[in-house]
Amino acid sequence: MSIANILIAALAPAGIVFTAQAVDLAPLDGIAPPPGVRGASISVGYRAFDEAYVDGVRQPQDISLKARAASLRLGSYVPVGSLPGYVYADFPYVELDGNDGVGDVALAGAVWPYANRQSGTYVGIAGYLVLPTGDYDVENTRLLNRNPSGNRTIGAFQTGINQRVYERFNVQMAVDVAVYEDNDEYLGASQQIGTLEQRSLVSWQASLSYRWSPALAAGVSYFDNAGGEVRTHGGPWSGEVQNERVGLWARMAISPRMTVAVNYKQALDIKNGFREADNIQVRVARYF
């Protein structure tokens, strides 16, 4: 596989990776919210990539790719019959390797078929939809998409469970599958506009968190995925994703209705694509 195909494969899921981050949960996200709550949050994130891999082998080419994003998220408790539910919309602004602009809007909805606050047991299902509403210029897709927008619709379905253990510990596990619409305005390694296609991507994640008090919690997380091969201009499929990473997370309440959360992640193992040297996100949330 050429380095050009690796560049395409590594950043093809830009709608999720750089804007909405739709299926990437933080510890305790699997707990159903209290009835009637509404929320607004602002997040800022930074990601840096420094190495490229093909079939698990590091490539000699130097890589220096940086992505920055800020987003506004608005959400509300929406019951589904007698079941707790929550919906939100995410409005990102993205800067990727020198190109900045409005990113793709992400919509999400979750429902908990089983929510037992006494035992701390929650089973939830969620759906995500990333819409191609952001800034996009086909000239910025040579080798990879450097646009704030992915120029395609992305859908994902997720299910997960959260279980409180020994009063202050929480174990969370989730699995999801993402599917991608074709992008019919893509250059990649070609000089002519063609179509970018991507197969479904399956991801799974787990986290362990600890609450020191109602105001302070911290945790560790593990994330893995597979699939997601891409092709352009009707060529061969390549670039299967099979990447692992770990993360550290902390959340602190600075008032009864406001929290600050910090999430840091780093790659463990890369099969195809870029090694994530740094990934940090800070989110400030206000609940009403």
Structure tokens given for 224: 């893995």
pLDDT in tens, 63-73: 888 999 999 99
Contact 67, 94 (CB under 8 A): yes
Q: What is the pLDDT of residue 3?
A: 52
Question: What whole-number percentage of the chain has pLDDT above 70?
Answer: 92
Q: What is the pLDDT of residue 1?
A: 46
DSSP-assigned letters across all residues of 184-237: EEE-BTSSS-EEEEE--EEEEEEEEEEEEETTEEEEEEEEEEEE--EEETT---
pLDDT at 2 over 60: no
pTM score of the predicted model: 0.90
- Which domains, and CATH codes, for the chain? 3-287 (2.40.128.130)
Structure tokens given for 219: 């945790």
pLDDT in tens, 116-128: 999 999 999 999 9
Higher pLDDT, 218 or 24: 218
Partners of 101 in the beta sheet? 94
Closest-CA residue to 260 (of 16, 22, 33, 26): 26
pLDDT at 221 over 90: yes
What phi and psi values does residue 199 have, to the nearest 5 degrees? -80, 165
Q: What is the pLDDT of residue 4?
A: 52
Residue 35 is given by DSSP the state: T
pLDDT at 203 over 70: yes
Q: What is the mean pLDDT of the chain?
A: 90
pLDDT at 229 over 70: yes
pLDDT in tens, 248-257: 999 999 999 9
Task: Give the whole-angstrom CA distance, residue 15 versus residue 181.
Answer: 11
